[in-house]
Amino acid sequence: MSVARSRFAAVVLVATALLATPAAAAAAYPDPGRVTGDVGVHDPSVVKRPDGSYLVAHTGDGIALKTSTDRVAFSGAGSAFPGGAPWTTPYTGGGRSLWAPDISYHNGRYYLYYSASTFGSNHSAIFLATSPSGNSGTWTDRGLVVESRGSDTFNAIDPNLVVDDAGRWWLDFGSFWSGIKLIQLNPATGLRQGSAMTAVAGRGGGAIEVPYIVQRGRYYYQYVSFDFCCRGAASTYRVLVGRSTSVTGPYADRNGVAMTSGGGTEILAGHGSVHGPGHEAVLADNDGDLLVYHYYTDNGAARLGINRLTYDAAGWPQVA
C-alpha cells in the first residue's frame, strides 16, 4: 500500500471513529427510572405539593393532570379546565388542546403558565391560571401574559417561570424562530411587567425549544431541547444545558459557546428504545434534583421519563 493510501486509510479510520462517538456516547445514557400506571404524557411539568405528593401537568385538552404519592405510580386526575378554555381559541383554531404547561407552587397557591397555538405557527399566546389546590376544575384564568403574531420574530410557547435570588419573577419561553426569550413578570399578578425582552438562547432560526432555568449555587442553569419532537419513534429531541451567573445571561455551555450562538452541552439523547427525550423540567426533591421529560417508545407512544441529576466537580449536571 502506498504512503498516500496509508494516510488516506488512517484518515478514514479517524473519521469513522469520530462519527461513531455520538452513538457511543448516547448508548451510555441511562434509561428512564421506573414509573407505573398512567404514564402517557407529552410535555410534562411537575410540582411537589405541601402534603408530599406530586402533581403533573402536561399537554392535552384543557391541560391534562396526573398525580402520584410516591413518584412511581401515577394516575389521571382530570384536567385544569374540564369545561374548556374559550379564551384560548383565537390561537388554537378552535381546538381544545393546550400545550406545554409550567406548574409551580408559590405563596400558598399553584401557578400554571401554558401555551395556546397550532403546529408550525407563531400566532401563539401564553396564559396564566392559578388554583388554591391544583385540582381539576379549580383553576382560575388570570389572563394573557405574552403573545406572538405572524409578523413577530419569536414564538410565545413553552413557558417556564423563574424566581431569581432577589425574588424577581421572570418568564423564559420560546421555540424556533429567533429563539428563546426572557421577560420580567410582576410577582403580585404573575403577569408581564414592562416591555423588555431578552434573547437568552437560539440556533439562528433552528430547532430549539422548551427553556427551563433553575438556580443552583452561584449559577443559573438553562436547559433546552434541540431538534424535533412530535414524530413518534422518529423524534430527535435531545436535552442540552448552559449556565450563567445572571438570570438574564449570557448563558454558555461547558466549552464557553454562547447559547445565543447555538451553544449547549448535551446531557441526554435518544438511545436504545428511548427515542427523542426532551421537553425537560427540573424538580428539586428531598433526595436531590430530578430531570422530568417525555420520550417515545418503539411504537411511537409518548411516556413520562424521570432521572436523577448529579453534578460533576465543575458543577455541570449529568443524568444518572
Q: Which residues are catalytic?
A: 43, 209
∠ Cα 55 61 141 (to 5°): 70
Report which of 161, 59, 172 is spatially closest to residue 117, judged by C-alpha positions. 59
Instruction: Give the Cβ contact number of residue 142 at 10 Å.
Output: 16
| Grid-cell match 381539576, residue found | 136
List all residues 6 or more positions away from 305 whose beta carbon is below 8 Å from its beta carbon.
32, 33, 274, 277, 291, 292, 293, 294, 295
List all residues 6 or more positions away from 206 whose beta carbon is below 8 Å from its beta carbon.
176, 262
Instruction: Report the chain's C-alpha Rg in angstroms.
Output: 20
HEC-encoded secondary structure of 93-111: CCCCEEEEEEEEEECCEEE
List all residues 6 or more positions away from 40 whose beta carbon is below 8 Å from its beta carbon.
301, 302, 303, 304
Cα–Cα dist 115/126, whole Å: 5
**Cell numbers for 243:** 449556565
User: Which sign, positive or negative, has the C-alpha torsion 68, 71, 75, 76?
Assistant: positive
Amino acid letter, residue 112: L
**Cell numbers for 224:** 433546552
Q: Is 13 exposed, middle or buried (0-12, 13-18, 19+ CB in 10 A)?
A: exposed
